[in-house]
Structure 1
Amino acid sequence: MNIAELPGDIKSMIEKRKRAFSYYHEEMIGEHGFLAEDETIFLDAAIALSLGKNILLKGPTGSGKTRLAESLSNLFSQPMHSVNCSVDTDTEALLGFKTITQNEGVNRIEFIPGPVIKAMEKGHLLYIDEINMAKPETLPILNSILDYRRMLTNPLTAEVTRAKETFGVIAAINEGYIGTVPLNEALKNRFVVIDIPYVQGGILKDVIKQESKLNNEKMIEQFVRLSSDLLVQVKSGIIPEEAASIRALIDTCDLAVYMDPLRAVRRGISDKLEEEREKAAVLNIASTLFG
Structure 2
Amino acid sequence: MTAPRRYRATATTADAITDGAAATGGGGGGTGAPSAASRTPAPASAPAAPSRPASPAPGKGKAAVVVRPNGQAYHPRKLADLPDVAALQRLRDASIPAMLYGPPGTGKTSLVEAAFPDLITVAGDGDTAVADFVGEYTQAPGGGYEFVYGPLVAAMTEGRALFIDDATLISPKVLAVVYPAMDGRRSITVKTHKGETITAAEGFYVVAGHNPGVHGAVLTEALASRFAAQIRVSTDYDLARTLDIDARAVRVARNLSRRAESGEIGWAPQLRELIAFQKIAGVLGTDAAVSNLLGVAPEEDRDVVAEVVSSVYGRTVAPLALGNQM
Q: Could you say whether these structures have the same fold, taking a TM-score greater than 0.5 normalized by the shorter chain as the test? A: yes
Would you say how many aligned residue pairs link Structure 1 and Structure 2? 248
CA distance in 2, matches of 1:37, 1:223: 24
Equivalent residues of 1:63, 1:246 under 8 A apart? yes
Q: Is 2:246 the partner of 1:224?
A: no
Shift of 1:122: 1.2
Q: Is 2:204 the partner of 1:171?
A: no
- With over 3 angstroms needed to count, the CA separation of the structure-2 counterparts of 1:68 and 1:110, relative to structure 1, is same
Structure 2: tracts of 5 or more residues without a match: 1-54, 60-68, 315-326
Q: Which amino acid aligns with 1:273?
A: A
- With over 3 angstroms needed to count, the CA separation of the structure-2 counterparts of 1:63 and 1:92, relative to structure 1, is same
Structure 1: tracts of 5 or more residues without a match: 7-27, 210-214
CA distance in 2, matches of 1:135, 1:262: 43
User: What SS does the corresponding residue of 2:173 show, helix, strand or coil?
Assistant: coil
Q: Is 2:297 the partner of 1:273?
A: yes
Deviations 1:137-186 (A, max 9, x none): 21111110111211110122121111110111111111232111122x23
Specify which of 122, 125, 129 is matched with residue 83 of structure 1: 122
Shift of 1:32: 6.3
1:36-75 equivalences under 5 Å are 36-38=77-79, 40=82, 41-74=84-117
Q: Which amino acid aligns with 2:199?
A: R
CA distance in 1, matches of 2:70, 2:284: 34
Equivalent residues of 1:48, 1:192 under 8 A apart? no
Equivalent residues of 2:105, 2:273 under 8 A apart? yes
Corresponding position of 2:261: 235
User: What SS does the corresponding residue of 2:152 show, helix, strand or coil?
Assistant: helix
User: What TM-score, normalized by structure 1, do the two folds share?
Assistant: 0.77
- With over 3 angstroms needed to count, the CA separation of the structure-2 counterparts of 1:253 and 1:227, relative to structure 1, is same
Equivalent residues of 1:262, 1:287 under 8 A apart? no
CA distance in 1, matches of 2:148, 2:74: 33
Q: Is 2:128 the partner of 1:92?
A: no
- With over 3 angstroms needed to count, the CA separation of the structure-2 counterparts of 1:127 and 1:189, relative to structure 1, is same
1:135-146 equivalences under 5 Å are 135-146=171-182
Shift of 1:30: 7.3
CA distance in 2, matches of 1:53, 1:29: 27
Corresponding position of 1:199: 235
**Bigger mean CA deviation after superposition, 44-53 or 188-197:** 188-197
User: What SS does the corresponding residue of 1:280 show, helix, strand or coil?
Assistant: helix
1:141-152 equivalences under 5 Å are 141-152=177-188
Deviations 1:241-268 (A, max 9, x none): 3x3222122111211112333421332x
Corresponding position of 1:289: 312
Shift of 1:289: 2.4
- With over 3 angstroms needed to count, the CA separation of the structure-2 counterparts of 1:254 and 1:29, relative to structure 1, is closer
Corresponding position of 1:259: 284
Q: Which amino acid aligns with 1:239?
A: I
**Cα RMSD (Å):** 2.4
User: What SS does the corresponding residue of 1:172 show, helix, strand or coil?
Assistant: strand
Equivalent residues of 2:102, 2:232 under 8 A apart? yes
- With over 3 angstroms needed to count, the CA separation of the structure-2 counterparts of 1:138 and 1:148, relative to structure 1, is same
User: What TM-score, normalized by structure 2, do the two folds share?
Assistant: 0.69
Q: Is 2:192 the partner of 1:122?
A: no
The percentage of counterpart residues that share the same residue type is 26
Report which of the two structures shows the higher radius of gyration computed on alpha carbons.
2
